Amino acid sequence: MNKHIVGIDWGTSNRRAYLIDQSGACLAEHEDGQGMLAVGGRDKFGASLAGLLAAMQLPHDVPVILSGMVGSASGWQEVAYLDAAVPLVQLPQHLAAVTDPAWAGRCRIVPGYVYRAGAAADVMRGEETQLLGAIALGRRDGWIVLPGTHSKWVLLRDGVIQSFATYMTGELFAMLSAGGTLAAMMDGDSSDAEGFAIGLQQAARNEPLSNSLFRVRAGVVSRTAPAQLAAATVSGLLIGAEFAAARGAGQGITVIGSAALAARYDSAARHFGLPCTVLDPHQVYCSALSQFIQQA
Protein backbone atom coordinates (compact mmCIF):
# COMPACT_ATOMS: atom_id res chain seq x y z
CA MET A 1 0.00 0.00 0.00
CA ASN A 2 1.30 3.45 -0.92
CA LYS A 3 1.82 5.36 2.31
CA HIS A 4 0.96 9.06 2.59
CA ILE A 5 1.90 11.71 5.14
CA VAL A 6 1.16 15.39 5.61
CA GLY A 7 4.04 17.70 6.39
CA ILE A 8 3.31 21.15 7.80
CA ASP A 9 5.79 24.01 7.94
CA TRP A 10 4.08 25.88 10.80
CA GLY A 11 5.66 29.27 11.23
CA THR A 12 4.95 32.34 13.32
CA SER A 13 2.63 34.04 10.82
CA ASN A 14 1.85 31.44 8.15
CA ARG A 15 1.75 27.72 7.56
CA ARG A 16 2.07 25.56 4.48
CA ALA A 17 1.04 21.90 4.26
CA TYR A 18 2.05 19.20 1.77
CA LEU A 19 0.58 15.77 1.18
CA ILE A 20 3.23 13.40 -0.18
CA ASP A 21 3.45 9.73 -1.03
CA GLN A 22 6.31 7.39 -0.14
CA SER A 23 8.21 8.33 -3.31
CA GLY A 24 8.24 11.98 -2.17
CA ALA A 25 5.78 13.12 -4.85
CA CYS A 26 3.65 16.06 -3.75
CA LEU A 27 -0.05 15.23 -4.18
CA ALA A 28 -1.60 18.36 -2.67
CA GLU A 29 -0.64 21.69 -1.05
CA HIS A 30 -2.37 24.14 1.24
CA GLU A 31 -1.23 27.53 2.52
CA ASP A 32 -2.95 29.91 4.93
CA GLY A 33 -2.33 32.61 7.53
CA GLN A 34 -2.93 30.34 10.52
CA GLY A 35 0.56 30.66 11.91
CA MET A 36 1.42 30.28 15.57
CA LEU A 37 0.26 33.81 16.46
CA ALA A 38 -3.11 33.38 14.75
CA VAL A 39 -3.94 30.07 16.45
CA GLY A 40 -4.66 31.81 19.75
CA GLY A 41 -3.09 29.58 22.37
CA ARG A 42 -1.59 26.15 22.98
CA ASP A 43 -4.97 24.51 23.51
CA LYS A 44 -6.17 25.65 20.06
CA PHE A 45 -3.54 23.91 17.90
CA GLY A 46 -5.41 20.61 17.71
CA ALA A 47 -8.57 22.25 16.40
CA SER A 48 -6.52 24.35 13.98
CA LEU A 49 -4.82 21.23 12.63
CA ALA A 50 -8.18 19.46 12.27
CA GLY A 51 -9.44 22.44 10.28
CA LEU A 52 -6.43 22.30 7.98
CA LEU A 53 -6.91 18.60 7.27
CA ALA A 54 -10.60 19.22 6.57
CA ALA A 55 -9.71 22.03 4.17
CA MET A 56 -7.42 19.60 2.32
CA GLN A 57 -10.18 16.95 2.41
CA LEU A 58 -7.90 14.50 4.21
CA PRO A 59 -8.86 11.92 6.84
CA HIS A 60 -8.27 12.86 10.46
CA ASP A 61 -5.98 9.86 10.97
CA VAL A 62 -3.39 10.68 8.27
CA PRO A 63 0.12 10.79 9.83
CA VAL A 64 1.35 14.37 10.31
CA ILE A 65 4.89 15.77 10.57
CA LEU A 66 5.14 19.31 11.97
CA SER A 67 8.14 21.63 11.77
CA GLY A 68 8.82 25.24 12.67
CA MET A 69 7.58 27.41 15.52
CA VAL A 70 4.87 24.89 16.41
CA GLY A 71 7.62 23.19 18.46
CA SER A 72 8.72 26.34 20.30
CA ALA A 73 7.93 27.43 23.85
CA SER A 74 5.09 29.53 22.42
CA GLY A 75 3.84 26.78 20.11
CA TRP A 76 1.75 23.66 20.54
CA GLN A 77 4.39 21.74 22.47
CA GLU A 78 7.97 22.71 23.21
CA VAL A 79 10.51 20.31 21.75
CA ALA A 80 14.13 20.47 22.91
CA TYR A 81 16.80 21.55 20.44
CA LEU A 82 19.24 19.02 19.07
CA ASP A 83 22.94 19.80 19.29
CA ALA A 84 24.47 20.80 15.97
CA ALA A 85 26.74 17.74 16.13
CA VAL A 86 23.75 15.44 15.47
CA PRO A 87 23.76 14.62 11.72
CA LEU A 88 20.75 15.97 9.88
CA VAL A 89 19.97 12.54 8.43
CA GLN A 90 19.23 11.41 12.00
CA LEU A 91 16.33 13.86 12.33
CA PRO A 92 13.74 11.12 11.63
CA GLN A 93 14.95 9.29 14.76
CA HIS A 94 14.43 12.37 16.95
CA LEU A 95 10.81 13.29 16.18
CA ALA A 96 8.80 14.22 19.28
CA ALA A 97 5.33 12.71 19.64
CA VAL A 98 2.55 15.20 20.25
CA THR A 99 1.15 14.53 23.71
CA ASP A 100 -2.34 15.92 23.00
CA PRO A 101 -4.51 12.78 23.47
CA ALA A 102 -6.53 13.55 20.34
CA TRP A 103 -3.38 13.38 18.20
CA ALA A 104 -1.17 10.93 20.07
CA GLY A 105 0.42 8.36 17.79
CA ARG A 106 -0.39 10.25 14.60
CA CYS A 107 1.36 13.59 14.94
CA ARG A 108 5.08 14.29 15.48
CA ILE A 109 7.19 17.44 15.71
CA VAL A 110 10.65 17.95 14.21
CA PRO A 111 13.14 19.36 16.74
CA GLY A 112 15.20 22.44 15.98
CA TYR A 113 18.97 22.80 16.37
CA VAL A 114 21.22 24.79 18.67
CA TYR A 115 24.79 25.77 17.79
CA ARG A 116 27.11 26.79 20.61
CA ALA A 117 30.40 28.63 20.18
CA GLY A 118 31.83 29.32 23.62
CA ALA A 119 29.33 31.41 25.57
CA ALA A 120 27.39 32.34 22.43
CA ALA A 121 24.53 30.30 20.96
CA ASP A 122 22.30 30.37 17.88
CA VAL A 123 19.11 28.41 17.22
CA MET A 124 16.83 27.36 14.37
CA ARG A 125 13.35 25.87 14.08
CA GLY A 126 12.03 24.86 10.68
CA GLU A 127 15.21 25.45 8.72
CA GLU A 128 16.58 22.06 9.83
CA THR A 129 13.84 20.38 7.78
CA GLN A 130 14.84 22.33 4.69
CA LEU A 131 18.47 21.42 5.32
CA LEU A 132 17.53 17.74 5.43
CA GLY A 133 15.75 18.23 2.11
CA ALA A 134 18.82 19.88 0.62
CA ILE A 135 20.92 16.90 1.73
CA ALA A 136 18.40 14.53 0.16
CA LEU A 137 18.90 16.49 -3.07
CA GLY A 138 22.68 16.01 -2.86
CA ARG A 139 23.77 19.20 -1.05
CA ARG A 140 25.80 17.67 1.78
CA ASP A 141 28.66 20.20 1.87
CA GLY A 142 29.11 23.94 1.72
CA TRP A 143 27.12 27.02 2.63
CA ILE A 144 23.33 26.87 2.63
CA VAL A 145 21.55 30.22 2.90
CA LEU A 146 17.90 30.38 3.95
CA PRO A 147 16.70 33.98 3.57
CA GLY A 148 13.66 35.36 5.31
CA THR A 149 12.55 37.13 8.46
CA HIS A 150 15.54 35.59 10.22
CA SER A 151 18.04 34.59 7.53
CA LYS A 152 20.28 31.61 8.25
CA TRP A 153 23.77 30.95 6.91
CA VAL A 154 24.61 27.29 7.57
CA LEU A 155 27.89 25.53 6.88
CA LEU A 156 27.51 21.79 6.20
CA ARG A 157 30.24 19.17 6.12
CA ASP A 158 29.14 15.70 5.03
CA GLY A 159 25.59 16.39 6.17
CA VAL A 160 26.54 17.75 9.60
CA ILE A 161 26.12 21.37 10.69
CA GLN A 162 29.55 22.86 11.36
CA SER A 163 28.22 26.29 12.26
CA PHE A 164 25.37 28.63 11.52
CA ALA A 165 24.53 32.30 12.00
CA THR A 166 21.18 34.09 12.04
CA TYR A 167 20.59 37.60 10.68
CA MET A 168 17.40 39.52 11.52
CA THR A 169 17.28 40.87 7.99
CA GLY A 170 13.59 40.59 7.17
CA GLU A 171 12.49 41.65 10.64
CA LEU A 172 14.72 44.73 10.58
CA PHE A 173 13.46 45.74 7.14
CA ALA A 174 9.85 45.43 8.34
CA MET A 175 10.56 47.45 11.49
CA LEU A 176 12.37 50.19 9.59
CA SER A 177 9.49 50.37 7.13
CA ALA A 178 6.85 50.57 9.85
CA GLY A 179 8.32 53.16 12.19
CA GLY A 180 11.26 55.44 12.89
CA THR A 181 12.99 58.11 10.84
CA LEU A 182 13.33 55.97 7.71
CA ALA A 183 9.69 54.87 7.52
CA ALA A 184 8.44 57.95 5.62
CA MET A 185 10.83 57.24 2.74
CA MET A 186 10.40 53.45 2.57
CA ASP A 187 7.41 53.33 0.22
CA GLY A 188 9.46 52.88 -2.95
CA ASP A 189 10.09 49.59 -4.78
CA SER A 190 12.40 47.60 -2.52
CA SER A 191 13.45 45.42 -5.45
CA ASP A 192 14.65 48.34 -7.59
CA ALA A 193 17.93 47.14 -9.11
CA GLU A 194 19.70 50.51 -8.95
CA GLY A 195 18.85 51.16 -5.31
CA PHE A 196 19.65 47.58 -4.32
CA ALA A 197 23.08 47.82 -5.97
CA ILE A 198 23.79 51.06 -4.09
CA GLY A 199 23.02 49.30 -0.81
CA LEU A 200 25.24 46.35 -1.71
CA GLN A 201 28.11 48.67 -2.56
CA GLN A 202 27.79 50.41 0.79
CA ALA A 203 27.57 47.08 2.63
CA ALA A 204 30.73 45.85 0.92
CA ARG A 205 32.65 48.58 2.72
CA ASN A 206 31.78 46.76 5.96
CA GLU A 207 31.10 49.99 7.83
CA PRO A 208 28.86 50.13 10.92
CA LEU A 209 25.35 49.20 9.78
CA SER A 210 23.52 51.78 11.91
CA ASN A 211 25.62 54.55 10.39
CA SER A 212 25.06 53.26 6.84
CA LEU A 213 21.31 53.15 7.46
CA PHE A 214 21.25 56.72 8.75
CA ARG A 215 23.13 57.86 5.66
CA VAL A 216 20.19 56.60 3.57
CA ARG A 217 18.01 59.15 5.36
CA ALA A 218 20.70 61.82 5.12
CA GLY A 219 20.98 61.28 1.37
CA VAL A 220 17.24 61.80 0.91
CA VAL A 221 16.79 64.87 3.16
CA SER A 222 19.87 66.55 1.67
CA ARG A 223 18.53 65.75 -1.82
CA THR A 224 21.74 63.89 -2.60
CA ALA A 225 19.83 60.66 -3.29
CA PRO A 226 16.29 60.12 -4.65
CA ALA A 227 13.68 59.07 -2.09
CA GLN A 228 12.26 56.38 -4.40
CA LEU A 229 15.51 54.39 -4.09
CA ALA A 230 15.60 54.40 -0.27
CA ALA A 231 13.71 51.14 0.30
CA ALA A 232 15.85 49.22 -2.18
CA THR A 233 19.02 50.74 -0.76
CA VAL A 234 18.05 49.64 2.75
CA SER A 235 17.28 46.16 1.40
CA GLY A 236 20.70 46.05 -0.25
CA LEU A 237 22.39 47.22 2.94
CA LEU A 238 20.72 44.59 5.12
CA ILE A 239 21.23 41.70 2.72
CA GLY A 240 24.71 42.93 1.87
CA ALA A 241 25.60 42.95 5.56
CA GLU A 242 25.04 39.19 5.61
CA PHE A 243 27.48 38.70 2.76
CA ALA A 244 30.02 41.11 4.26
CA ALA A 245 29.94 39.04 7.45
CA ALA A 246 30.31 35.70 5.65
CA ARG A 247 33.66 34.00 6.04
CA GLY A 248 34.96 31.13 3.96
CA ALA A 249 32.08 31.19 1.46
CA GLY A 250 34.41 31.56 -1.50
CA GLN A 251 33.27 28.25 -3.00
CA GLY A 252 29.77 29.66 -3.34
CA ILE A 253 26.38 29.33 -1.69
CA THR A 254 23.14 27.43 -2.16
CA VAL A 255 20.04 29.53 -1.52
CA ILE A 256 16.69 28.01 -0.50
CA GLY A 257 14.02 30.66 -0.80
CA SER A 258 11.08 32.13 -2.70
CA ALA A 259 11.72 33.34 -6.22
CA ALA A 260 11.72 37.01 -5.21
CA LEU A 261 14.09 36.58 -2.27
CA ALA A 262 16.32 34.13 -4.11
CA ALA A 263 16.71 36.66 -6.94
CA ARG A 264 17.99 39.28 -4.49
CA TYR A 265 20.43 36.89 -2.88
CA ASP A 266 21.65 35.74 -6.27
CA SER A 267 22.24 39.38 -7.22
CA ALA A 268 24.08 39.98 -3.94
CA ALA A 269 26.19 36.85 -4.44
CA ARG A 270 27.27 38.05 -7.88
CA HIS A 271 28.17 41.45 -6.42
CA PHE A 272 30.37 39.75 -3.82
CA GLY A 273 31.88 37.39 -6.40
CA LEU A 274 30.26 34.20 -5.09
CA PRO A 275 28.78 31.42 -7.23
CA CYS A 276 25.12 30.90 -6.30
CA THR A 277 22.72 27.99 -6.82
CA VAL A 278 19.02 28.34 -6.03
CA LEU A 279 16.81 25.49 -4.81
CA ASP A 280 13.01 25.63 -4.85
CA PRO A 281 11.80 25.60 -1.22
CA HIS A 282 8.73 23.47 -1.98
CA GLN A 283 10.80 20.77 -3.68
CA VAL A 284 13.28 20.90 -0.80
CA TYR A 285 10.55 20.51 1.82
CA CYS A 286 8.93 17.57 0.04
CA SER A 287 12.34 15.92 -0.28
CA ALA A 288 12.74 16.25 3.47
CA LEU A 289 9.29 14.75 4.11
CA SER A 290 10.25 11.71 2.08
CA GLN A 291 12.95 11.06 4.70
CA PHE A 292 10.33 11.09 7.49
CA ILE A 293 7.71 8.87 5.91
CA GLN A 294 9.02 5.60 7.33
CA GLN A 295 8.83 7.06 10.85
CA ALA A 296 5.24 8.34 10.48
Q: Could you give the dihedral angle defined by the CA atoms of residues 43, 47, 48 and 53, in that order, rounded to the nearest 10 degrees?
A: 150
Segment 8-40, tens digit of pLDDT: 999 999 999 999 998 889 999 999 999 999 998
CATH number for the domain formed by residue range(s) 4-137+289-295 = 3.30.420.300
**Is the distance from CB of 12 to CB of 36 less than 8 angstroms?**
yes
The pLDDT assigned to 170 comes to 95
Stretch 46-52: mean pLDDT: 96
How many angstroms separate the first and last alpha carbons of the chain? 14
Per-chain mean pLDDT for the chain? 94
Q: Is 203 left (phi over 0), alpha (psi -120 to 50) or beta?
A: alpha
Q: CATH 3.30.420.310 region(s) of the chain?
A: 167-279
Fold of the domain built from segment(s) 167-279: Nucleotidyltransferase; domain 5 (3.30.420)
Q: How far apart are CA 86 and CA 131, in angstroms?
A: 13
Q: Is the pLDDT of residue 2 over 70?
A: no
Picking from 166, 187, 173, 145, the residue whose alpha carbon sits closest to that of residue 284 is 145
Q: How far apart are CA 150 and CA 92, in angstroms?
A: 25
Q: CATH 3.30.420.300 region(s) of the chain?
A: 4-137+289-295
For 188-214, letters b (16+ CB in 10 Å) and e give: bebebeebbbbbbebbbeeeebeebbe
**C-alpha count within 13 angstroms, C-beta hemisphere, residue 86:** 15
3-state secondary structure 12-37: CCCEEEEEEECCCCEEEEEEECCCHH
Amino acid identity at 22:
Q
Element (DSSP H or E) covering residue 268: helix 259-271
Q: Percent of the chain at pLDDT above 70? A: 99
Segment 186-206, tens digit of pLDDT: 999 999 999 999 999 999 999
Radius of gyration of the chain (CA): 20
Segment 252-293, tens digit of pLDDT: 999 999 999 999 999 999 999 999 999 999 999 999 999 998
